[in-house]
Structure 1
Amino acid sequence: MIRVLIVDDHEVVRQGLRFVLSHEEGIEVVGECADGAQALAAIPELRPDVMLLDMVMPGMDGLAVLRKLADGPAVIVLASFVEDERVIEAVRLGALSYLSKTTAVDRVVEAVRAAAEGGSVLEAGTAALLIDRVRHGRRRNPLDLLTPREIQVLGELARGRSNAEIAQLLKLGRETVKTHVSSILGKAGLTDRTQAAIFGLQQGLIRLDEALDQGMDGESSGGA
């Protein structure tokens, strides 16, 4: 019996995976966790053979779990999108398979069975990225990971603007801006807005003198 632990912050995703895997012969879902910290705490008690691990979660994300995982279960990483750097880092940290959340059900089941035997199942796009990195050692421009709108938001962060100011400037809702900021931090491996602003400056989204002018304006007006 293959013991499986499902780790995802979306309950609907966990329920869907549980439903699918519970109807497969030889597979038992032994638990569900909503974040990485819960997963690390549950592993010693549940003793899963395979862990389906969401890549992007609040608090401790999938990569953070992989960094802390010692002699744990075989890991299958699930993501809403495939990003070069996250794929490479997840595989480097020991993940056996990297699948998108739109992967066909039978493919997920195949990956679980393969992982229990120490094998890997990779989608065509993921395999191509790995092969490209091995052959050429190429690193993409970090901005390639961001959508055009996220690049716009990042540029405004580099200018020191608040979410409210960005929302007004780009004609977006504040929650939408907040979502874009969170996505930028996750994709670029950043921890806060300050790092994002520096990252935007480093990527040439605004000129250094413009950033200094913005900083002086913020100081003179009391900041955002």
Structure 2
Amino acid sequence: MTIRVVIADDHRVVRDGLCYLLGQEPDIEVAGEAGDGRQTVDVVTAIRPDVLLLDLYMPGLDGHAVIAALHDTPHRPAVVVLTSATDDEHLVRAMHAGATSFLLKTAPAEHVIAAIRDAAAGTASLSPELLTRLTQALRRPPPPDPLQPLSPREREVLQLIARGQSNRQIARSLEIGEQTVKTHVRSILTKLGLQDRVHAAIFALRHQTGSYQGD
């Protein structure tokens, strides 16, 4: 049986290298490639590969978002993450989201090939080092929510501050009085130890949104 693989990485040279590597294996076929997250979802949906070889650092949708987007699709492929992301957060998120395997780009070629074969057979694989790190990370208590001091209404106000809305606009959006908004803003600044609305907006964006990072 031939294992059909889609390679998703935003670097052309990496995709070319992986195509060459996998092309040497008689039981593996590179069925498609993608250079960004949205294209990955489209290619996988159209081609229905057995395995998706996926980088996490991708423009458009990152690898985590790709895994989430494919979660409920018919003929969902096994996902082998191949990335330069070395921190435990990426490892835990990817495995929790349903990745079958997680490999660093420093892994030997034979480990990548073995992970693809294992994934196609329905077997998860992690190196002993990554398995130890995953186990330790899962035992740690989750980090505290930086927005925990805020009430639900204050969180709504903070979100609208981050969108650049004025007190008057926030009052309209939430159908409350402008004086009430001012009270909420003062409370937010006090609870979070922030100087002004600008710092509140920066705080909100930092803790509520992510950004793409290249390899």
Please state if 1:5 is matched with 2:26: no
The number of equivalent residue pairs is: 151
**TM-score in terms of structure 1 length:** 0.61
One-letter amino acid of the structure 1 residue matched with residue 106 of structure 2 = T
Partner of 2:26: 25
Distance in 1 of aligned mates of 2:116 and 2:50: 9
In the alignment, is the contact (CA less than 8 A) between 1:82 and 1:126 conserved in 2? no
Partner of 1:153: none
Q: Which has the higher helix share?
A: 1
Instruction: Give 3-state SS (helix, strand or coil) of 2:60's partner.
Output: coil
Partner of 2:123: 119
Please state if 1:89 is matched with 2:93: yes
Instruction: Give 3-state SS (helix, strand or coil) of 1:75's partner.
Output: strand
Shift of 1:125: 2.9
Summarize deviations over 1:123-162 as a string: whole Å, max 9, x none.
233211221134x2334699xxxxxxxxxxxxxxxxxxxx
In the alignment, is the contact (CA less than 8 A) between 1:63 and 1:90 conserved in 2? yes
Partner of 1:137: 140
**TM-score in terms of structure 2 length:** 0.64
Partner of 2:81: 77
Higher relative contact order (CA 8 A, sep 6+): 2
Structure 1 segments of 4 or more deviating over 2 A? 136-142, 211-215
One-letter amino acid of the structure 1 residue matched with residue 114 of structure 2 = E
Instruction: Give 3-state SS (helix, strand or coil) of 1:81's partner.
Output: coil
In the alignment, is the contact (CA less than 8 A) between 1:132 and 1:138 conserved in 2? no
Larger radius of gyration: 2
Distance in 1 of aligned mates of 2:197 and 2:32: 53
Shift of 1:213: 11
One-letter amino acid of the structure 2 residue matched with residue 35 of structure 1 = D
> C-alpha root-mean-square deviation of aligned residues, in Å?
2.4
Gaps of 5+ in 2: 146-161, 164-191, 200-215
1:177-192 matches, within 5 Å, as none
One-letter amino acid of the structure 2 residue matched with residue 62 of structure 1 = G
One-letter amino acid of the structure 2 residue matched with residue 42 of structure 1 = V
